[in-house]
């Protein structure tokens, strides 16, 4: 569409919101190398830059479709959503923020629970979405993750969480912080049942999510370049008044210092997780883990 109209021998300027370029939306600029990427090619490469390997942020449903066999999964617990228990108001009421987040993201909450098969294994997955209030963890998110774990125990399934979060949701105060202990207790029961828990950390994974379930996986996997930590690097520098090392709190830095088990390219993530599930869901492996637990308990009681 042109930016000008000819009307009765007069030139009329088209309003800004009506101006469109025919190629608009066809190309995406990589924020790292600034290369112009054809959107369709970017989608085919799982939203990873073909030039520099930058991993674009993904919504929860896209991640689930990439992970499950044939992209098929059943959504669970969609009815669990946040309310406003504290009647919280800052620049606007929390209820309005929730409604706006649901409309803009198309999601009921900051996490989607799913059931399906990955490499033939029954897996329950909770995928967080940063588009919903920064992927913050409120009481509804905590309840959904806990339900996911409890259902996995009943169905003898593996659990995967895909973290993308700014941390606990401040509008719910202590109710959001309580979710850290609630989920951790559920994961302890999952461990007692010798069922695997794989934690996938994406950009960003911070705050109370990092300080709880995100770092409790039997296997902790991070995407390349993901920001992972509790407090942000700027907050830490201002607190300790020291310059932090280069790439501090990035996935590769955490791998080097033993905080994560692997940094895996998104294009290889599904095959990597299937290999982990093949090993961890193997009956011999499960029995061996159970024997190790029994031995450690006996040793502790001697």
pLDDT digits (tens, 9 = 90+) for 65-109: 999 999 999 999 999 999 999 999 999 999 999 999 999 999 999
99's enclosing H/E stretch is: helix 94-105
Q: Could you state, in order of their start, the residue ranges of all structural domains in the chain? A: 23-56, 58-301
d(CA 82, CA 168): 13
Q: What is the pLDDT of residue 56?
A: 97
The span from the CA of 199 to the CA of 270, in Å, is 13
Q: What integer pLDDT is reported at residue 229 of this predicted model?
A: 96
Given a contact cutoff of 8 angstroms between Cβ atoms, the answer to whether 214 and 167 are in contact is no
Average pLDDT for residues 134-145, to the nearest whole number? 98
No. of H helices and E strands in the chain? Answer: 10, 11
Mean pLDDT for the stretch of residues 174-194: 96
Measured between alpha carbons, how far is 215 from 182 in angstroms, rounded to an integer?
15
Distance CA 167, CA 160 (A): 18
Note the pLDDT tens digit of each residue in 272-297: 999 999 999 987 766 666 676 667 66
State the pLDDT at residue 15.
73
58-301 CATH fold: 2-enoyl-CoA Hydratase; Chain A, domain 1 (3.90.226)
Whole-prediction pTM: 0.87
- Tokens for 164, please give them: 């993308």
What is the pLDDT confidence band of residue 233, given thresholds at 50, 70 and 90?
confident
CB 100 within 8 Å of CB 131: no
Alpha-carbon distance of 293 to 194, in angstroms, equals 9
Q: Which residue carries 């939306």 as its tokens?
A: 25
What is residue 161's predicted lDDT score, i.e. its pLDDT? 98
Tell which residue, 93, 108, 163, has the closest CA to residue 130: 163
pLDDT of residue 159: 98
Cα dihedral 162→166→169→171 (10° resolution): -150
Across 155-170, b (16+ Cβ under 10 Å) vs e yields eebbbbbbbbbbbbbe
Residue 55, strand partner residues? 48
Can you give the pLDDT at residue 273? 98
pLDDT of the residue at 50: 94
């Amino acid at each position: 569409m042109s930016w000008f109209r000819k009307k009765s021998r007069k030139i009329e300027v088209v309003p800004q919101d009506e101006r469109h370029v025919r190629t608009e939306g066809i190309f995406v600029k990589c924020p790292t190398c600034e290369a112009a990427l054809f959107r369709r090619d970017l989608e085919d490469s799982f939203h990873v830059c073909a030039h520099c390997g930058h991993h674009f942020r993904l919504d929860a449903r896209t991640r689930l479709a990439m992970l499950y066999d044939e992209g098929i999964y059943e959504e669970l617990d969609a009815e669990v959503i946040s309310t406003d228990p504290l009647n919280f108001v800052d620049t606007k009421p929390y209820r309005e923020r929730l409604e706006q987040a649901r409309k803009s993201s198309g999601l009921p909450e900051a996490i989607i629970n799913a059931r399906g098969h990955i490499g033939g294994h029954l897996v329950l997955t909770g995928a967080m979405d940063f588009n919903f209030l920064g992927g913050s963890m409120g009481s509804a998110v905590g309840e959904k993750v806990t339900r996911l774990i409890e259902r996995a125990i009943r169905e003898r399934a593996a659990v995967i969480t895909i973290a993308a979060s700014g941390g606990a949701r401040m509008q719910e105060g202590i109710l959001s912080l309580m979710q850290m202990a609630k989920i951790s207790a559920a994961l302890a029961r999952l461990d007692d049942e010798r069922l695997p828990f794989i934690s996938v950390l994406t950009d960003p994974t911070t705050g109370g999510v990092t300080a709880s379930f995100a770092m409790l996986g039997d296997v902790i996997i991070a995407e390349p370049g993901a920001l992972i930590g509790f407090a942000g690097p700027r907050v830490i520098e201002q607190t300790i008044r020291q310059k932090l090392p280069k790439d501090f709190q990035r996935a590769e830095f955490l791998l080097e210092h033993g905080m994560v088990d692997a940094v895996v390219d998104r294009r290889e993530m599904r095959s990597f997780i299937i290999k982990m599930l093949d090993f961890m869901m193997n009956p011999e492996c499960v029995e061996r883990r159970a024997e190790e637990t029994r031995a450690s308990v006996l040793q502790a009681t001697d």
